[in-house]
Structure 1
Amino acid sequence: MREAIVVLDAEGVEALTMRKLGARLNAGATSAYRHVANREELVELAVDAVLGEVVLPEPEGAVGCGGSGWRAAVSECARSFRATAIRHPWLCAELGRSGLSHEGPNLSALSAGLTRLFDGVGLADVPGAIDAGFAYAVGMSTTESAWLTTVARSGLTEAEFVARSLPAGPGTAETHRQLLRDPAAFRDRKFAAGLDILLDGLTTRLPHRT
């Protein structure tokens, strides 16, 4: 599986074939079929494998810190998912294609962790909250991964690419200036701001607002 993920990270999903994987393993393409039924199953297994890098929310103690501990747990999990998606830019596209229908052990563990966390704080619609969280994290990470892939293909640093694409001039908006100054920090703030809005919305649905 490690070699399959290496190919996916470097070349994308379309580049992964059973023949190429067999060559990297110094074996024939037919050897790979002893372990997986087809290429689609291989990609599904790779998706679940990299989801094992996501930090799981810990329900224990998550209601502490004045009742806001659950927010910190969800935020850490969401930031970890984003970082994983950036390391593996093919991940979100494959999650979107499968619609989270293939629940391997790591995705199941992630869903179970979020379920225990939201149950623990008394959230009524736990499945809806999990769906909203996944929709935000996957959606934002998809856009960010695509952007970073475009930057990488340009051969420029992100700051150079932004400066070339969006040159500053008279009347430049403050958000534009922030992006030009530090693109990575701008992306961090943008993700955090949207996540706060999502968590604010979930807070209103708790039995006791915190």
Structure 2
Amino acid sequence: MPRDALTREQIVRTAIELLDEEGLDGLNMRALGRRLDSAATAIYWHIKTKEELVRLAGDLLWDEVELPDLATADWRTAATAMATGMHAMLTRHPWLGQAFGSHLLFGPGKARHDDHSLAVYEHAGFVGAEADRAAATVFIFVLGSALGPAAQVSLTRRLGRGGADAEQRLADTMDRTADIARRFPRLRARLDAAGGTRSGADYAAAPESSFAFGLTAILDGFEARLASG
């Protein structure tokens, strides 16, 4: 595809597809060019660097998080919807959470999300810096909750490239992890909870509904703080 037939949006959306499948390490202009049936030089005409491409792709994803109407939703419903939407988006695109630690991410998509998040906590009754702290607390919790699944995707992808040997190394590691865990009473209890069938990965995984539990606890704390004046 010649460079004048490509559009910036087309390049960014195709980059998202590649990132979702291959992760940050799998993104390069040559691989992207193959997907677009275009020379890498044609992509550079629109986007100069990989860093810029990751930033543009990451910012576009924030449009997937629905921003509730504060004229019709109470603050807690709105906060829950935004946090849940962000968590779902980060789970769909696990590379984005990892990119926070390696790329400078900014743009109108994230700014729009952050502005609405502040509005939610101002709507709750927080004022000034307190609204910033409330929004930041939830943001950090959601991001941290999504990092585990993202890391698992990345690890599985990397081991998958190693073939059968990598699969055996993973199985051996899980067995060794479980053996070590059995030295400690609470971890041993978790392993034994399913009749001894749990692996090292199972005991280390967050229990089901952990995200909902944590978010509810944070919002309960906000309500108590607001009620105390």
Q: Deviations over 1:18-75 (max 9, x none)?
A: 1221221111111111221211000011111122112224322333xxxxxx222211
2:116 aligned with 1:83, yes or no? no
Which residues of structure 1 form unaligned runs of 5+?
Answer: 64-69, 157-162
Within-5 A mapping of 1:128-139? 128-139=133-144
Q: For 1:69-108, list aligned pairs within 5 A.
A: 70-98=75-103, 102-108=105-111
Query: Could you say which residue in structure 1 is the equivalent of 2:54?
Result: 43
1:200: Cα distance to partner?
2.0
SS in 2 for 1:116: helix
Alignment deviations for residues 82-122 of structure 1 (CA, whole Å, 9 cap, x no partner): 11111111010112334xx5331211111111111111221
Asked if the contact 1:49/1:106 (under 8 Å) is kept, the reply is yes
After superposition, give the CA deviation of every residue in 1:163-184 in whole Å (9 maximum; x if it has no partner): 98869x9x9636974896xx8x
Alignment partners' CA distance in 2, 1:129 and 1:17:
38
Partner of 2:189: 173
C-alpha contact 2:59 2:108 (8 A) present in aligned 1: yes
SS of the residue 1:204 aligns to: helix
Q: 1:4 deviation in Å?
A: 0.5
Distance verdict in 2 for CA 1:93–1:27, change over 3 Å: same
Superposition TM-score, scaled by structure 1 size: 0.76
User: Match of 1:141, SS?
Assistant: helix
Which protein has greater RCO, CA pairs closer than 8 Å, 6+ apart?
1
Q: Which amino acid aligns with 1:194?
A: G
Counterpart among 18, 23, 26 of residue 7 in structure 1: 18
Cα pair distance change 1:177/1:83, threshold 3 Å: farther
| Matched residue type, 1:197 | A
1: CA distance, partners of 2:28 / 2:141: 31
**How far off is 1:7 after superposition?**
1.0
The answer as to 2:133 corresponding to 1:113 is: no
Cα distance in structure 2, aligned partners of 1:153 and 1:200:
39
Offset of 1:153 from its aligned partner? 6.8
3-state DSSP of counterpart to 2:225: coil
Whether contact under 8 Å (1:59, 1:113) holds in the other structure is no
Q: Does 1:127 align with 2:132?
A: yes
Instruction: Name the CA shift for 1:60/1:166 in 2 (closer, same or farther; >3 Å).
Output: farther
Which residue of 2 is the match for residue 66 of structure 1? none
Matched, 1:143 2:165: no
**Match status 1:202 vs 2:222:** yes
Distance across 2 between alignment mates of 1:111 and 1:141? 18
Alpha carbons of structure 1 residues 39 and 152: separation in structure 2 relative to 1, 3 Å: closer
Q: Hey, what's the Cα distance between the residues in 2 that align with 1:108 and 1:187? A: 32
CA RMSD after TM alignment = 3.3
Deviation at 1:188, TM superposition (A): 4.6
| In 2: Cα distance, 1:102 partner to 1:91 partner | 9
Give the share of equivalent positions with the same residue, in percent: 32
* C-alpha distance in structure 2 between counterparts of 1:95 and 1:44, whole Å: 10
After superposition, the Cα gap between the structure-2 partners of 1:201 and 1:49, relative to the gap in structure 1 and judged at 3 Å, is same
Cα distance between partner residues in 2 of 1:116 and 1:21: 38
